[in-house]
Amino acid sequence: MKYQNNLAFAKQQDKEDTLSYVRNRFHIPKDENGNDWLYFTGNSLGLQPKSTKEYINQELDDWANLGVEGHFEAKNPWLNYHELLTDKMAKIVGAKPVEVVVMNTLTANLHLLMVSFYRPTKSKYKIVIESDAFPSDRYAVQSQLKFHGFSEEDVIEWKPREGEYLLNIEDLETIVSKQGDEIALLLIGGVNYYTGQFLDLKKIAAIGHSKNCIVGIDLAHGAGNVQPNLHDSGVDFAAWCTYKYLNSGPGSLGGVFVHEKHAKKKELPRFAGWWNHNKETRFNMRMPFDVMEGAEGWQLSNPPILSMAAIKASLDLFDEVGMDALIEKSEKLTGYFEYLINEIDSDDIKIITPSNPNERGCQLSIQVKNADKSLHKKLTEKHVITDWREPNVIRCAPTPMYTSFEDVYQMVSILKGLL
């Protein structure tokens, strides 16, 4: 696509954008003059769909009017409420419904999945992560190692090469071919939170499986942003949150994927509660534990319906819009963003995200010279909302749901003015 560096072009793109109507389905925060913020942090906390309040109010009303009867009598009975989310969530991540469940929160889910899928032996126990893994993931794997009597040192880091920022799949191949006999698990961020690099999950799965390592994916920055095709990728498990691109509110519940090949393995070690027990006999209360098949077999507790209502509001909107259309817009919008930043021609900033659209989602990570944090601060003062990540990156995500081409144009004009 041929882009142009002027406002008229941006406005024309918005006119031609078949998804431009979706912005109006969201609450966009405003400045003191009533102008919309330029919100580029949908990768951190997605904005609120206008329908969310109505979905939550439905549950509040049902609770007020029905009390405990709401489990069966609510408009959307609470007992099986999570099932209302499964098909739509499965579509978003390219999975079969049996492979997906919404439950708990991300880091808690990673631990629950590692209970089943990180089964170290004396000789095969190490865990591979990216060197720039999100801190919570690093702490989670370190604590799993220690829990099993190993050391934090037993984490192997997949690092970018000297002088580079991005990961090279060949280096993962080298790590696994040399040390694979000692490696039990690969736990990799499908889209890296820092650089925005979208990795080839199918290749990662093949590399891990070639040496009998389990492959898990943290999809926090992927879900609702890229199409990870989890089922086809062949990875063993994945987990993600719903408050970033999935716009379901702060601290909302996470999503879990367990590949179909593990769906019927009832013998897999796991933690149990009444919610992964057979639905048919759950309320008989005195039955021996009988685990459910598929991803539902990792639930423990009856879930928070108010959070699920917010997730339902968002997933209904995703379903209406469709991931394919969203990704098509995302590629154009982020391509435009990249083009405009490159037009600035300043030595003070540099994009470190891959320029190949197949290797990124909508986020661009801009490295700032001499780690000058004041640039981020000045952007914020002008209601351009981005986020600063140590040591020297401003992350910006023009999420296709509610960001316009004009937003992108205005954002880069302000950035240019500040440089």
Q: Could you list the residues that contact ligand PLP (CB under 6 A)?
A: 105-107, 134, 136-137, 189, 193, 218, 220-221, 241
Residue 11: CB atoms within 10 Å: 14
| Nearest to ligand PLP of 106, 175 (CB atom) | 106
| Nearest to ligand PLP of 239, 326 (CB atom) | 239
Give the whole-angstrom CA distance, residue 221 versus residue 106.
Answer: 12
Least gap, CB of 287 to ligand PLP (angstroms) = 32
| Nearest to ligand PLP of 218, 236 (CB atom) | 218
Burial class (CB in 10 A: 0-12, 13-18, 19+), 367: middle
Q: Are the beta carbons of 185 and 128 closer than 8 angstroms?
A: yes
| Nearest to ligand PLP of 70, 222 (CB atom) | 222
What are the beta bridge partners of residue 277? 291
| Nearest to ligand PLP of 76, 248 (CB atom) | 248
Least gap, CB of 258 to ligand PLP (angstroms) = 18
| Nearest to ligand PLP of 70, 216 (CB atom) | 216
Least gap, CB of 41 to ligand PLP (angstroms) = 12
Element of type H or E holding 339: helix 323-344
**Pick from 222, 283, 189, 241: nearest CA to 94:** 222
Least gap, CB of 410 to ligand PLP (angstroms) = 27
Residue 122: CB atoms within 10 Å: 7
SS3 77: coil
Least gap, CB of 250 to ligand PLP (angstroms) = 10
User: How is residue 140 written in tokens?
Assistant: 């989670």
Number of helical H runs and strand E runs in the chain: 13, 13
What residue has token string 């000045």?
A: 378
Least gap, CB of 210 to ligand PLP (angstroms) = 25
